[in-house]
Chains A and B, each alone.
Chain A
Amino acid sequence: MMEKIAILWPEIAMFAGTCVVMLVGLSPRAEVRRQTALLAGVTLAVAGLLAANSPGVAGPLPGMMGFVKGLTAAVGLMLVLLLAGTVDRAEERAIAEGRTAFNPLRSTRGEFYSFFLFSLTGVMLCASAGDLIWLFLALELTSLPTYVMVAMSGKGVRLGDRAGEAGVKYFFLGAMGAAVFLYGFALLYGATGTTRFGEMAAFFAAEGVGPMATAGLLLALVGVSFKIAAVPMHFYTADVYQGAAAPVSAFLAFAPKTAGFVSILLLVSAVGWLPTGGQAPALPGSIDAALWLIAALTMTVGNVLALLQTSVKRLLAYSSIAHSGYMLVGVIAGPGDGSFTQNGLSAVLFYLLAYGVTNLGAFAVLACLERDAESGEVDSAADLKGLCRTRPVLGWTMAICLLSLLGFPPLLGFFAKVPLFTSLLGAGRYWLLVILAVNSAIAAYYYLGLVRVVMLDEPSAESRSVRATPFVSRPVAAVASASAVVLLAVLGNGLMVASQAAGQYQRPAVGDGHAARAEARTSDDARAEARGSDVGAERR
């Protein structure tokens, strides 16, 4: 129990912060209400500090938890800046002008920020997960608040019914996805007789992966691929990203995706990358094939659909699909020899960080621009024409972030993409390498097209009529993202080392599993006990 609490301090802090934020957001006094975002930021900072000190855990991926929690807190802090003014904008203005009194039923600020924190708590819990039930609950905790946040975000900017429609679509399809992976989890339990990853890994190591386990794992992976927006569960992405307000879209591109990839890494590492006669270690044939197919289709579909877009949000949504495809490649490549260039898992974790930071910047620029307070945000590429001339800071942020998403050297995106390529190379997966390279080239077309619009086109009358949103923290988030993209490319060595440590994979030994299982059965809390004993063994 105590060992479990030792790894859960960030989540506990997040939960406490969430409760406070929920209540503070409903305060009848405007100056107290205004502190909601600040409190959310403080909560994330505290959680991040706690995550930095979190101990290592036993299991196939001992280092991942701390890294993911830190990453979540860090990107969360940038998101807090970006979320300012997403909800209650008209309401708060009316109150400030004295046209109406505060009505708690109409205010959604407290809910919005607490849902935001709940969702990030879910991401952190995913990283702490040691068994299937925990993982399921954590995934749902990540997703459920996002459904509501999408619908809520329409209120502030009058996206019309689009936000509501997006929320409903997201909810129903998300429920379907959850059903699929829950079914997969059930089959996994049926096949192995345990819900705990450690025991499952021992079981697979001892007895191999049977057909039922394969089916279960496959359903679980396909179901979770809803969270990362991978084929065939990607259909919602564009509609939902476009329907939600830009800050929420930025959030959607980060939180569920991170949770999804963490889950995939946990699930897949329970099976493990097995040596295949003479070749680099790979996942069992059918799982490998399925992931290969999903990855190839995901990047291709995402990129070709993005080619045809004029809506920037839809373009970023499709590119988000494509990026999921890129990251799946790292999962397929496997841990290699553990070095940063060879370890696909580290590559995925580092890519999550790079993508989270970069994509946030692109959405932040959209969030900074609006036609007017009533008709809502800018979305069409034509509205961004000549942005570098009219608003240099935003324009350059957009250009830098897009180039980084493209993987343009020497920006952060490039350094995130290189290890994906090298890990594939190390694993000898040349076909996938070719597909990845071709897709990167296709992506260059639409990213550079948008960069051209932003940097080279002359501002049109239409794009000049766009004005800035009155929230100071949004451009701050945008600039923070662009600076991070540039600076981390030079100074990101520490993060690379951290992600390399986080991506270390330890193959479960055949003998250990049964002993751990027998021991676990006797204790009050098997998982914590199994972890505790292993951790203790390390300490000894």
Chain B
Amino acid sequence: MVGGLAGMTGLAGAAAAAGGDGALAAGTVAGPWWVVLIPLLPMLGVVLTLVCAIFDVRTKAPAWMSVACLAASFGLAVLAYLELAGGPTAVTFGFRWIDVAWGDGPGQRLSADFAFAFDGLTCLWMLFVTGLATLIALYASEYMSHDVGVGYCRFFAAFNLFVFSMACLVMADNLVLLFLGWEGVGLCSYLLIGYFYKKPSAVAAAKKAFIMNRIGDLGLLMGMLLTFVQFGTLKYAELWPLVEPYVAAVRAGHADEVPFLVGLIPVLLMVGAFGKSAQLPLYVWLPDAMEGPTPVSALIHAATMVTAGVYLVARTYPLFLVSEWALPVVAWVGALTALLAATIGMAQFDIKRIMAYSTVSQLGYMFCGMALLTSVGGAFHVFTHAFFKATLFLCCGAVMHGFAGQLDLRRLSGVGQMPGWRIVGLAMLVGCLNLAGFPFTAGFFSKDMILAEAFVTAGPGYQAIGWILLLTAGLTAYYTFRVFFRVFVGPVEYVPGDEHHADEHGHYHEEHGEHGGGLQRPAPEAHGHGFHPHAPGWAINLVLALLAAGSIAAAGAYFVHTEHHGWVGNLLHGSPAEPTHSAAFVESHGHGGVDAAAHGSFFGLDPHKAMYFVSSAIGLVGIGVAFVLHYLGRTTAATSRADALLPKVGPVARWAQGKWFVDELYDAAVVKPLWVLSHVLHMFDKLVVDGLVNAAGWLPRMVGRAVRPSQGGVLHGYAVQMAGGIALALVIVWLMTL
């Protein structure tokens, strides 16, 4: 329930609300007031764009307003980083949001404030969320320009709302506010995937994403409630001291002292994280989510929202340490997802989908990073991935924008060599090198930290995980450069897509309506010879250049603050996500800290050093294979040498192309039975429940009919009835008092 209910708990609660958050938890300090503006500015953006929608603004004004709001928000995030990072957690109280008490005992008061806690982890996420949001909003100002008008406003309103929700999620000082943000980003994701709501596939994808996320959200909600039941609070600062004894027990090897229900919490939270971050078995929504406009894919479904699951694990790390097997499960799910998604990505032809599967795969890496007790590696990978994956998506978006929606790598070739496409090609190269883990790129360093830790940390089958991740790294390098060599270099050739909006930026929706919702794919010849690739304008080029530069610069973060494993490690130092409390960590790293003698080894070598060479080699092999198969001797867009290899691997390639038929499996195992059940229930509903409801609805109407004549409209009739009523009331009371 909402803020007002605070009053219901009596004046005590209200007084506390009036005086701000009187009692700061131990170890936190009061933060500056302007932290509140970081989420509020995007909210202002929502309001402004909606006002634009109401006044039917047909210019790019909503985009500029959004960019301004987001940039200001980013500026404040930077300021917050400069002021607050490194210090104790700074809590800024917004207002009392929920405060319901049903007794005075512990755990009988549920209170959650709109309060924002700022520590290193928050800083890291807020910096790239607001920064990327600003850049991508700028990019979208051009990308969405064919839809200027109400649709444009709708897009930016949802975009800003997303940033607001994400800020709430990341900056929350309690799980309830995190959950609000969590649901908010899910809603915005739904709204933006379904942005082209006249396109049935987009609507279906939006629904799929929403429902898959609901399953995950249920897990998170149950985990949250269980946390409240077990610990009586949902505020991080109050929660960690209560969790601490259990963590200590597990570290001391007395895992059996932890109650079963406490051990269940991380499992439930995990389900939430897997739903939001598209891990097995809930990953199928993310590739379909590419139906949304590309800036959305870049921001929400690659860089920020999908990392919310990783953030949840990092944020509630102590809760994951109370169970011996919570983190191993996360590690295995992450590793298997990484491998599965990479194999699917290898066989796809739609470049945006390849990137989507790559995102799923890389998210698997991040979870592994978290679970393998190198949350620094996980977070660092989140950070670098945000930059290079956004770059990759935006390059794909530029191609899609320029070639009328064409995304098939068999119909595009040599794009990077066309006039006006140079920056896109270069940015794509930078992104691909990062994703492939080419030596000395940011992606290389962040991936290495995870890979090495797999061989260092003691755990069930962690060595195997290390090998899976190494294999995946090779596959990643292959499919990444498959895209690059097919689309961006080689002979210049293209077939435009069916979203013909020419140069005058015609009306997208109307055209789609004529095409029957955009489902049909008319023959390319239908467009005749009038089509010219639409080279990106200054906004797209500027953003791509900045992002590519950022992707390169992110590598630098590895070399500062080396005592804490880089800049990210320095930020995480002292936050709950630091893994030094774990039993497994102590076992494998000794008590001395991160740099003490490593117990794990990689063929007798120190994995941290060996991995530089091993992963470089594997990445280069992947790139080399792609070079040979998809670049050398390729003369047309549609064919390559790889085609000759396909028959030799048999049906495996077809299965991979069919995404291992996971969607079909879900359909047969879950959707169909539910469909049958729902029809049975529907019949019951129609025959029995409706009958009862209709009867219940009939009664008041009959009473109404009966009473209606009393409203005859005649003055003296009313007077007589009133007098009669008074007399009746008196008589009844008189009879009662007899």
Contacts and interface: CB of A to CB of B under 8 A. Distances in A.
On whether A and B touch (CB less than 8 Å), the answer reads yes
Interface of A: 168-169, 172-173, 176-177, 180, 211, 214-215, 218-219, 222, 226, 231-233, 235-236, 238-239, 285-286, 289-290, 293-294, 300-301, 303-305, 307-308, 339-341, 392-393, 409-410, 415, 418-419, 422, 442, 445, 488-493, 496-497, 500
Contact of B8 (A235, A239, A341, A445): A341
Contact of A232 (B1, B705, B713, B724): B724
A491 B6 CA distance: 10
A217 B715 CA distance: 27
B596 interface: no
A285 B5 contact: no
B14 A300 contact: no
Contacts of B707: 301, 304-305
Contacts of B700: 303-304, 307, 442, 445
A308 B722 CA distance: 22
11 contacts: A168-B715, A169-B715, A173-B715, A232-B726, A232-B729, A303-B700, A305-B704, A341-B8, A445-B700, A492-B3, A496-B14
A219 B4 CA distance: 37
Contact of B722 (A233, A301, A341, A392): A233
Contacts of B8: 339-341, 418-419, 422, 496
Nearest to A177: B722
A214 B707 CA distance: 29
A304 B703 contact: yes
A496 B4 contact: yes
A490 B701 contact: no
Contact of B713 (A172, A239, A491, A492): A239
Contacts of B670: none
Interface in B697-737: 697, 700-701, 703-705, 707-708, 710-711, 713, 715, 717-719, 721-726, 728-730, 732-733, 736-737
B7 interface: yes
A304 B713 contact: no
B2 interface: yes
B20 interface: no
A176 B729 contact: no
A98 to B, nearest CB: 35
Contacts of B1: 409-410, 415
A305 B708 CA distance: 6
A290 B722 contact: no
Q: Is the interface of B mostly helix, strand, loop or mixed?
A: helix
B2 A176 contact: no
A536 B723 CA distance: 45
A286 B710 contact: no
Nearest to B7: A496
Given A233-B726, A305-B711, A492-B3, 10 more contacts: A169-B718, A222-B726, A285-B737, A305-B704, A307-B700, A307-B701, A340-B9, A490-B2, A491-B3, A496-B4
Contact of A339 (B10, B95, B704, B721): B10
B526 interface: no
Contacts of B3: 489-493
Nearest to A501: B11
B4 A415 contact: yes
Contact of B11 (A173, A236, A500): A500
Given A233-B725, A235-B710, A173 B718 contact: yes
A539 to B, nearest CB: 22
Contact of A289 (B14, B17, B718, B732): B732
B659 interface: no
Contacts of A222: 725-726, 729
B96 interface: yes
Given A218-B730, A308-B708, A341-B8, A235 B721 contact: yes
Contact of A415 (B5, B14, B713, B724): B5
Given A307-B700, A340-B8, A290 B2 contact: no
Nearest to A231: B725
B665 to A, nearest CB: 38
A157 B730 CA distance: 42
A308 B725 contact: no
A215 B722 CA distance: 17
Contacts of A226: 722
Contacts of B11: 497, 500
Nearest to A441: B696
A4 B177 CA distance: 49
B687 interface: no
4 closest A-B pairs by CB: A232-B725, A496-B7, A304-B704, A235-B718
Contacts of B713: 239
A293 B729 contact: yes
B150 to A, nearest CB: 10
Contacts of A173: 715, 718-719, 722
A176 B3 CA distance: 44
B54 interface: yes
B728 A232 contact: yes
A78 B174 CA distance: 38
Nearest to A169: B715
A294 B730 contact: no
A218 B54 contact: no
Contacts of B723: 176
A436 to B, nearest CB: 15
Nearest to B702: A304
Given A235-B721, A415-B5, A491-B3, A307 B730 contact: no
Contacts of A490: 2-4
Contact of A180 (B9, B726, B733, B736): B726
A172 B736 CA distance: 32
Contacts of B725: 222, 231-233
A12 to B, nearest CB: 31
A218 B703 CA distance: 27
A305 to B, nearest CB: 6
Contacts of A491: 3-4, 95
**Most A CB within 10 A of own CB, among B2, B95, B700:** B700
A460 B287 CA distance: 42
A488 B736 CA distance: 43
Contacts of A293: 729, 732
Nearest to A180: B726
Nearest to B114: A490
B659 to A, nearest CB: 38
A289 B722 contact: no
B722 A304 contact: no
Contacts of B697: 445
B10 A340 contact: yes
Interface string B24-38: 000000000000000
A301 B725 CA distance: 13
Contact of B4 (A235, A239, A307, A492): A492
A311 to B, nearest CB: 12
Interface string B51-86: 000100000000000000000000000000000000
A492 B95 CA distance: 12
**Most A CB within 10 A of own CB, among B707, B726, B736:** B726
A236 B737 CA distance: 31
Contacts of A392: 54
